[in-house]
Chains A and B, each alone.
Chain A
């Protein structure tokens, strides 16, 4: 095994990790603010990629599609939230999960109906279809672009949450939505915006993944699974936790591809199980008592 391969896998891990973060952070913010579990989150990722696919077919440039497709998915999500999900907020999580599974199946099947069941990839824009030299290894420029864009996005999101009035409302709403509502803030508008924003981020991740991996209508499950592993490892509702966990999960995945290719898909679940055991009282409590 060469050190070039290792280096390029580590950089791959960085890019993938940032994409996982962009997916997971929406799921976790929605849960934190609305106490709502969205099992259709993975379907929004796929829907974003399909919208971009359709836009590219219609001669729209990649750059425009990168903005328009997520906006469209965000709009779809806001409509769904207004019409359907709003009725579920006061229900038990079981029913939220069942309804959003229904939503995910619906999105998956409508995508199959319109675009067919086959796998597809998005073409990377011409200007990024080259490679650059990193140390001794050549690396696709598109992946560098993804790292830069998602890292900027992560920073911007952090500033949005920590330094703006909207972020303050969102954080306050996560603490106590009813109280924030009593302070005269339109909590339902905040819910809609957050849900739409989460779907926007998911769809953006879908478009960005398009040139790097194949997608099909059923890919939603694997994106949801990645988000779930990231959230379990990082702790639900935590921004920094999601970022650290996403990078960790992706790097472990990348290293597994180098050292044990067969287990590439499985190893992240092993990581999840280990983190779970470490975090639980089962071990910590026992050690504390010993």
Chain B
């Protein structure tokens, strides 16, 4: 009985806390992000792999905003990733843009495409919505080859200059080492993590969660749910576009696979694997997926069979993903500690 009441009093995860509590919790989010990035950089087999993990983690955060907080299952996040990558790549190649400007272009294009695709997709709800995002992902995959004189088609976009950091033509720093690249990507990841943490704890985030729980009721209260969903889409497109821009910067080219369906599927799988209950789950999803597949793909060409089994197992047994598993473990430990305390008090 005691346990039940104490649980009821606890604020649910992601809920807006009291005003005094909020800055403290924000600080914890920043600490968690920075410590995780540092640990990843130290423990990962290579800086390049750590960079890839953080790039995908950014994209997964963007996906989680839609899936976990707005209740929309997006099958086409690869579209924003891919157009971000091409936008940044083209600005590097043709306009001689440097890093912050190229990434800004990626975010802008990601946002614009998300607004366009999103406004069509949210005309439908539920399964039809998912099918539409899937169809648009397929369509953009074909567009790479339709405009192959711009995108480079199957050869990918080539001719990148050496990456550098600077503003308006003045080079401040050359990004020619993998450490420097990782630094830029890590800063972007932490920034996105903080931004989205603020967003989901804001009034806007609470409205998104209301739409997730019951869209009709949210509309009945008077929220323009279509507008809110579109805004979530645009924000997700911005974040995912940034991930695409970083991908182009990190690879020094844009392969044609950047805009294919596989990226969309991968982002979605990482999101589900990490768990949609918290933003930190997105980081976990990207880390575990990429470190495991990096290892498995060296051992067995058909490692995706294991991935298929893992996906089905998650749906059957662990719908909360890795974050859900951590929460189960945490409450289990809490219960045990509580029992021990009570036993101690009884003696």
Residue pair A99, B73 in contact (C-beta under 8 Å): no
Given contact pairs A84-B312, A94-B73, A113-B305, A225 touches B134 in the complex (Cβ within 8 A): yes
Which residues of B have CB within 8 Å of A91? 315, 319
Q: Say yes or no for A140: interface residue by CB 8 A criterion.
A: no
Q: How far is the CA of A91 from the CA of B272 in the complex (A)?
A: 15
A93 & B123 in contact (Cβ 8 Å cutoff): no
Q: Which listed residue, A103, A266, A282, touches B308 by the CB 8 Å rule? A: A103
Residues of B contacting A: mostly: helix
**Interface check A263, CB cutoff 8 A:** yes
Contact code string B72-93 (vs A, CB < 8 Å = 1, else 0): 0101000000000000000000
Which residues A249-290 have CB closer than 8 A to chain B? 262-263, 265-266, 269, 272-273, 276-277, 280, 282
- Interface pairs A-B: 3 shortest CB-CB: A102-B311, A106-B308, A269-B139
Residues of B within 8 A of A273 (CB): 120
A269 near B128 with CB under 8 A, answer: no
Inter-chain contact B261/A103, CB cutoff 8 Å: no
**Closest residue on chain B to residue A93 by CB atoms:** B127
Interface size on A, residues (CB 8 A): 43
- A residues 68-102 near B (Cβ < 8 Å) are 84, 87-88, 91, 93-95, 97-99, 101-102
Q: Knowing A93-B127, A266-B146 are in contact, say whether A102-B308 is a contact too (CB < 8 A).
A: yes
Chain B residue nearest in CB terms to A102: B311
Chain A residues within 8 Å of B, Cβ to Cβ: 31, 37, 39, 84, 87-88, 91, 93-95, 97-99, 101-103, 105-106, 108-110, 112-113, 221-222, 224-225, 228-229, 231-232, 236, 262-263, 265-266, 269, 272-273, 276-277, 280, 282
Which of A88, A108, A262 contacts B315, CB < 8 Å? A88
User: Separation in Å of the A84 CB from the closest CB of chain B?
Assistant: 7
The 8 Å CB contact of A232, one of B135, B268, B269, B307, is: B135
Which of B131, B132, B312 is within 8 Å of A99, CB to CB? B312
B315–A99 touching, CB < 8 Å: yes
Residues of chain B contacted by A87 (CB below 8 angstroms): 316
Partner of B131, one of A98, A108, A228, A280: A228
Indicate whether A102 sits within 8 Å of B312 (C-beta atoms), given known contacts A97-B73, A266-B142, A273-B120.
Answer: yes
A158 to B126, CA, bound (A): 28
Task: Please tell me the number of chain B residues within 8 Å of chain A, measured between CB atoms.
Answer: 39
Give chain B's interface residues, CB within 8 Å of chain A.
67, 73, 75, 120, 123-124, 126-128, 130-132, 134-136, 138-139, 142-143, 145-146, 261, 265, 268-269, 272, 302, 304-305, 307-312, 314-316, 319
Using known A-B contacts A103-B308, A109-B308, A269-B139, determine if residue A93 contacts B134 with beta carbons closer than 8 Å: no
Contacts of B75 in A (CB 8 A): 97
Chain A's closest residue to B130 (CB) is A97
Residues in chain A near residue B302, CB distance under 8 A: 109, 112-113
State the Cβ distance, A40 to closest chain B Cβ, in Å. Answer: 10
Measured CA separation A222–B139 after assembly (Å): 10
Chain A residues in 8 Å Cβ range of B142: 265-266, 269
